Structure 1
Amino acid sequence: MADKHIDDLSGVETTGHEWDGIRELNNPLPRWWLWTFYGTILWALVYTVLYPAWPMLTDATSGVLGYSSRAELAADVGAAKAAQGVVLEKISSSSLEDILADPQLSQFATAGGAAAFRVNCTPCHGTGAAGGQGYPNLNDDEWLWGGDVNAIYQTISHGIRDTVDPETRISEMPAFGDMLQPEEIRQVATYVISLTSVPQDPSLAEAGKQVFIDNCASCHGENAEGNRDLGAPNLADAIWLKASTEAEIANQVRSPKHGVMPAWTGRLGDTAVKQLAVYIHSLGGGE
C-alpha cells in the first residue's frame, strides 16, 4: 500500500498511469454499468444457444429454436408473390383500357412497369426515358408509331425490325445515294433543314422541295409531317432521332441508319409488357 499514490485533491487512489504529469484516478465503475455489462454477456450466451450463431466449416450452429432468417425471408417473399399473383392474373386477363380505368390495377401496373423499365429499357432509353442519339425520348408526345397505350404495347410486344418476330414493326428508308445525284441530296437536305432552321444555302431549298415531293413525300407526307402507319418521322418539328444537322440529314438520305428494338413479349411475357406499356404511357407523352 505504501507504493500506492493517492490524489491530493480527491483522496482517491490513482492507477499509476501518468501522462505529462496527469494521473488517472482509480475510481470503480458504477454498479449499474457493471450489471448492464454482465447482462449483455448473459444475453449473448443465451442468444448463441437459442439462435444460429457460431460458424463452422460448412454450416453454422442452428440454435435450439431452429430459427432461420432465410426461411423467414422465403416465407415473406412467397406471401408477397401470392398477393401479387391475384393482381397479376387480373392484369393478364384485362385489356389495357380496363387496366387504366381501374385505379388499383393502374397503380400496380405502373409500379411494375417502372421496375421492368429500369432493368430492361434504360440501357437504350436512359433512366429517365429521355432517350439519346438514335434512341427516342419517351416523355414527349412525338411518336413514330403512335402514342396511345395500345400502340405502345404493340411496339414493345413485337419490337421494331426484329428479325425473329413476324409481327414486328418495319420501316425501311431506302438508300437514296443509289438513286439521287449528290447535288439532289444536298438540295433535299437543305429543304428539310429549312423546315425548322436556317440552312447554309437557302437558295437550294426550292429545288430540294421538289426532290422531296418526288422521292420522300410518299412516306413523310407532302408537308413532311410524317406517317405513323409507316413509322415515318415528322421532319417539321425539330425533334430528331438519327440526324439534326444539315450534313447529318444528307448522310441519312444517302445511307440511312436503321435502329432495331427487340420484341419483348417472348422475353418478359405478356403481363410484363402490359405493365411496361402502362408505365410508358404514364410518363406524360402518352396519348
Structure 2
Amino acid sequence: MKKNQQLSWNDYLFENRHKAYGAYELRTEEGNNLLKSLLLVGFFVGILVTVLSFTGKDTTEEGTTTYCPIDVNVDFTEEIEPPVSPPSVTPNVIPAATVENKDSDIIPEPKEKPEVEKPLTEQKDIGKLVMPEVGNAGNEGSIKSTGNIGSSGTGENTGTKEPEVIKEVKSTFSPREVTKMAVFPGCEKVGNSKKALQDCMAEKLSGELGIQLDGFGELAKKENIHQASAKLNFIVDKSGKIIEVKAMNGGNQAFGKEAQQALKRISDRLVKKGKYLEPAELDDGSKVNMSFTIPVQFNLN
C-alpha cells in the first residue's frame, strides 16, 4: 500500500513529464539501492571486525603472563647463638713483701741471764699544759686538750675482689623461648597454640608472596628455571612490624633477592593499611622482638 502511494505520488509529481531524463527511475529504485548499500557496508564491517578479533586474540595470547604457583612452608628454625663468655678481669694482687738477708746481720750470743725487754709505754697526746696565773693561789692548774686521745690509723684493704659477671640483656627471642606466639593479621581466631598460629601465618604469607613474586615467572622462563628455593629471616618487633628482612646464604641467589624484596613490600603494605602483627610475649606479659626463619620454594608449572 505504501509503495502504491509512493508510486502514485511520483506519478502525480511527474505527470508523465520528464520521465525520459531518468529522474523517475531514480526515485522509484532509491529504496532498493539504499538497501544494497547498507548490506554491503555491513558485510565489509563484519569482515573487518572478524580480522581484528583474530589479530587481537593472537596478540593477547603472546602477551599473556603465566602465574606461577608459590609454595611457602614456614619452619621456625632457631638460630643457635654461641654462648657469650663474661669478660675476664685480672685482679690486682699485691705482691708479698720480701726480706733480704744481709751479711751484716749479727746473731746475738746466748746469755745465762738475758735482759727482759719491757714494751714501750703507749704515748698519748694529752694536749698542752696551762699553768695558773701568778697571784692566783687558790686556783689549780687546768689541762686543756688540743688533740684527740689515741691515734686513728687508716688501713688499706689488701684483699682481691672477685670479677663481676656482666649479664647480657637479650633483645630478640626465638619461638621456643616465648610464651605467646606472634599473630599475623587474620589469624586471631585460629586458637592460641603455636602450631595453629604458625600454620595460619604460613598460609597468609604463601598467598601474599604468590602475588608479589608473580614477576619472577618471566625471569624463570628466560633463565629456564623450573624450581628455586631460598630462606628468609626477619624479625617481628614489639610494635608488630616486620623488620630486618634478609635472605640467608644458600639456595638461588636471584630468587632469594626477589623474595627478600617481596617480603619488604608486604611489610610496607601492611603498615600503610594500618595492619600490624600482635607481638610475642614472655611469661610476665612483656612484649619482645621475635625472630623467624622461613623457606620459600618456587615451582614453575
Q: TM tier, shorter chain? A: under 0.3
- Bigger proportion of residues as strand: 2
Q: Calculate the TM-score normalised by the size of structure 1.
A: 0.20
- Bigger proportion of residues as helix: 1
Larger radius of gyration: 2
